Structure 1
Amino acid sequence: MRVLAIADSDSYLKWAACLLGDLPAGCESELVVVRTPIAPSAEQIAAAVGDMPAPPVLTARAVRRAAERSDPDAILVACTGPVVDVLVSGVLDGLRPRPVFVTGLPGISVPATDKAWLYRSGCDLFVVHSEREVAEFAAVAARLGGGGAVGLARLPFLRPAQERGGGDRVVFATQAKVPRAREERERVLRALAELAAARPDLDVVVKLRALEDERQTHRERHHYQRLWRELGEPGRLRFEAGSMREHLAHAAGFVTVSSTAALEAIAQDVPLLVLSDFGVNAEMINLVFEGSGLLGTLDDLARGDFREAEPRWTAANYFHPAGRDDWAGLLAGLVNSRPRVPARSLLDGPEHAAARRRARLRVEVPPNMLRAGRRAKRRVRRYLKALT
């Protein structure tokens, strides 16, 4: 089986690289990055793919040519929702024979959302990572229609715990989307600084998803490193990017507001803390941690009070036995069942045509031109507003 994987951002690239690594023996795979405004930098690519060769960053047309050249049995579309829809419905439409289109979400996906399903409803297989997520997305699929099968795969970067020495590092894993408010992010930084002051034996590290000048999957309005400078650097913190796995290898504790990296910490037997000060709900992307035993406060962080996950919670969330995974079997069945009825996208139709055209600009127009166009549009709006 030949599989072509296409990623559009740092988190999806890491997910795609790991998922390809878990394909059955004998599969051939190729990985590329489609050029978009959030395409990862060279440093992010290296951190995401590890020992694999660095994938090329291609234009949409070059991605189409790569698909025509390799004639894959399946294409893993590891991208943000609008880009998945544009690639499947437009850029890669009309490939003959039609490959199986596989997609999914690279991390925690609780609660399941209609939007995630709608954008990916043109794909034949939708991969998620816990039995709870399978049940929730299967319910969405039954209600909305469209799409194909929902498959289960253990998050590919949740490897068994590696041998670790006595770590002295506390790792704070940032999340681009939450908390949103500047003041809330400043509170997190001050609690980390308080811990560093109280425990000089600890190396307190803010693990960044991206450096200030790098793009990432979601736009980060208040970058932690910039906030720290603007606060006058009131303490002893380090800011680093790079591989989360390498950071966890030296960790004595881990903290986040909401990050899939919390699951990596559990897998590596690193005590951790999920901050609840800003709410525990779908908006904070941390609802899944209810009942985990990991929720705590900034005061707990300042004291270095880290926890271990409840076994019943881990069994239901992301740490199911490997034998329950069925995504690879579903994929093989789809590849072998040609001719087949392809998935039906719920976004086909004239009412979605304008949105698709806008989304297609993200993969067909150079990012610098897109940004210049947005800036010009904002200036025109401000000018018109000043005239009224």
Structure 2
Amino acid sequence: MLADSDTRWKWGALTARRLAPGAHLDGLLLRGRATPTPRQLAEVDADADSLREVTTAEFVRAAAERDPGYDAIVLACVGGAVQSMLHGAAAAQRAAAPGAGPLRRPVMVTGYVGVVYEKLADGLLLRHGADVVLANSPADAARFREVYRGAGADPDGVTECALPFLDGAHEPGVPQPADTGRPFTVVFATQPSVPAGRADRRYLLRRAAEHARAHPDRQVLVKLRSKPGEQTTHIEEQPYQRLARSLPGGLPPNCRLVHGHMGEVLERTDLLVTVSSTAALESLHRGVPTAVLTDLGVREALGNHYFLGSGCLASWDELDAGALPEADGEWCAREGVLPPGGGSTGEWYAHAFDAARARVARLVARSAGAGLPPLAPCYTPRTAPAHLAAVLARYGLDPQGEPLRRSASTARPSALRRALRTTARGAYRHGVQRVAPVVRRLGEL
């Protein structure tokens, strides 16, 4: 499994475990801006049997190896990285086995970490070429196939499953019993880049604090994604930790910032509040009342438009007045949160990966026998020459998928280079989180 951030590591590792229970799982981290820290990996609570950091060149070489090799590879990366790994692996496989005939190669699997609310065509076409493109719901599966057909790309790889981290310690879909030993708990699930602006993020934090003051019998937890200096899939220019220090009056005693595994936090949650986090799907699956905030509007830029029709849209004013949104069952079924037509949620979720598991198993068997056709993404130097060349170059590959001269070496970097890389990452993060916001504010004067 190859991942390029903490959230994608979580999705990729859990997906791999569900597709091949009991298999040996090698965890590979693609070296880059969002490479997670050990603390971030520990927090997502998704283990692999081994773990190492790799470059693009190292990965494509491993993807082409036959002995030892991989039966299947889960590409848990952004779309550009997926496309680059597919082209890089295809080039390496061509070099290892010249000719256009069937190959004994790994089955390539990819998908999305959560809610797909933007860049649908862009992201999907960058993922095309994988043997299996996982869709987290019936609605996503239909949309994915429609995009591929419209672009003249083969939609056969689209396979419906579910998000791999929905299940919890109790029966899914059933509200958790009240725990008289703790106060009513409200969790505000933050996001690194939604909203992005300082004023909007201060507003949301202030409203969470005001909710706590208005309800002293409640506990309000502001669930954070990362610590200052760490990176996730998206850049967080305005960390809530820093905003909390400058909040007038500070946070009341019953409102605090927390980290931790989202599943564990949800086990003690009575109301989940967010703008558009995938945590909303987790809470809905667990039967937790879920509020998708409308204070900043319902806008594509925020991603909360995805929840239109869910019954979850609400404002802080409504929550202050005691509202507990009730989710629409048909919407939840369509979006892969609850089973269609009711029934046992636990039984439905237990079989959510059956089709994907069977497809991967068939392809692995075919690869070991007659072989699989060469990887064939719809983007090629002929169909999208300018776009593909730009995407591949970002990952150190030329338009044919070969490593560029400057990234051809796969030797382990020296201690000096590793130290320089760590320093450069720190400087980049400091610039994003400290310098860039100040320069932006100065530009607005």
TM-score, length basis structure 2: 0.76
Partners of 1:149 and 1:333 in 2: CA distance: 13
- Tell me how far 1:242 sits from its aligned partner: 1.6
- 1:56 is paired with a residue whose SS is strand
- What is the CA distance between 1:165 and its match in structure 2? 5.4
CA contact (8 A) 1:17 1:49 kept: no
Provide the rounded CA distance (Å) in 2 between the counterparts of 1:222 and 1:18: 30
Question: Match for residue 231 of structure 1?
Answer: 247
Residue in structure 2 matched with residue 17 of structure 1 by the alignment:
13
In 2, Cα distance between equivalents of 1:304 and 1:41: 39
Task: Deviation per CA, 1:245-281: give whole Å up to 9, x if none.
Answer: 1111111211000011111112222222110122324
Identical-pair percentage: 34
* 3-state SS of paired residue (1:28): coil
**Offset at 1:130?**
0.5
The aligned residue for residue 90 of structure 1 is 88
From 218, 242, 248, the counterpart of 2:260? 242
1:151 to 134, 153, 159: 159
Q: CA separation of 1:301/1:41 partners in 2, compared to 1, >3 Å: closer, same or farther?
A: farther
C-alpha displacement of 1:46: 0.9
C-alpha spacing 1:160/1:305, structure 2 compared with 1 (3 Å) = same
Q: Please tell me whether residue 118 in structure 1 is matched to residue 153 in structure 2.
A: no
Deviates further, 54-63 or 142-151: 54-63
Q: Indicate conservation of the 8 Å contact 1:9/1:38, yes or no.
A: yes
Q: 1:203 maps to what in 2? A: 219
Cα distance, 1:356 vs structure 2: 3.0
Pairs within 5 Å for 1:1-388: 5-25=1-21, 27-50=23-46, 55-64=51-60, 66-67=62-63, 68=65, 70-90=68-88, 93-95=91-93, 97-110=104-117, 113-146=120-153, 149-159=157-167, 162=170, 166=179, 168=183, 169-232=185-248, 234-236=250-252, 237-318=255-336, 319-320=338-339, 321-322=348-349, 323=351, 325=353, 326-338=355-367, 339-349=371-381, 350-352=385-387, 354-361=389-396, 366=421, 369=424
More off after superposition, 328-337 vs 90-99: 90-99
Quick one: distance in 2 between partners of 1:197 and 1:370?
A: 39
Query: Relative to structure 1, is the Cα distance of residues 23 and 370 closer, same or farther in structure 2, using a 3 angstrom cutoff?
Result: same
Contact 1:146 1:343 in 2 (8 A): no
Deviations 1:112-145 (A, max 9, x none): 7111112112312111200000000100000113
Matches of 1:223 and 1:346 in 2, distance apart? 39
Question: Are the structure 2 counterparts of residues 145 and 73 from structure 1 closer, same or farther at C-alpha, using a change threshold of 3 Å?
Answer: farther
Contact 1:191 1:301 in 2 (8 A): no
Structure 2: stretches of 5+ with no match in the other structure: 97-103, 171-175, 340-347, 398-402, 408-416, 440-445
Q: Deviations over 1:299-344 (max 9, x none)?
A: 1233452323122221111123344652222222322334333442
Q: CA deviation at 1:202?
A: 2.1
Q: Secondary structure, in 3 states, of the residue corresponding to 1:55?
A: strand
Note the C-alpha offset of 1:244: 0.4
3-state DSSP of counterpart to 2:51: coil
8 Å CA contact 1:281, 1:287 repeated in 2: yes
Q: Is the 8 A contact 2:86 2:375 kept in 1?
A: no
**In the alignment, residue 376 of structure 2 is paired with which amino acid?**
R
How much does 1:368 deviate? Answer: 5.0
Deviation at 1:24, TM superposition (A): 4.2
Q: Sort the Cα spacing of 1:235 and 1:107 in 2 relative to 1 into closer, same or farther, 3 A.
A: same
Q: What CA deviation, in whole Å up to 9, does each residue of 1:195-217 have, x standing for no partner?
A: 11122222211111111111100
Distance 1:106 1:371, change over 3 A: same
Taking the aligned partners of 1:359 and 1:171, their CA distance within structure 2 comes to: 38
1:122 touches 1:146 (CA, 8 Å); kept in 2?
A: no
> One-letter code of the match for 1:76?
V
- Measure, in 1, the Cα distance between the counterparts of 2:160 and 2:15: 12
CA contact (8 A) 1:255 1:275 kept: yes
Give the conservation status (yes or no) of the 8 Å contact 1:192–1:302.
no
Q: How far apart are the structure 1 equivalents of 2:13 and 2:318?
A: 35
1:198 and 1:226 map into 2 onto residues whose CA distance is: 23
| SS state at 2:222 partner | strand
Q: What one-letter code is carried by the residue in structure 1 that aligns with 2:8?
A: Y
Q: Is the 1:273–1:307 contact (alpha carbons within 8 Å) kept by the matching residues of 2?
A: yes
Cα gap change, 1:52 to 1:84, in 2 (>3 Å): closer
**Alpha carbons of 1:15 and 1:174: their partners in 2 closer, same or farther (altered >3 Å)?**
same
Summarize deviations over 1:20-69 as a string: whole Å, max 9, x none. Answer: 22124454332221211101111111122346557333333443465436
User: Against the structure 1 CA distance between its residues 270 and 59, is the aligned structure 2 distance closer, same or farther, given a 3 Å change threshold?
Assistant: same
Deviates more, 1:349-358 or 1:172-181: 349-358
Aligned partners of 1:262 and 1:16: how far apart in 2?
19
User: Partner of 1:385 in structure 2?
Assistant: none
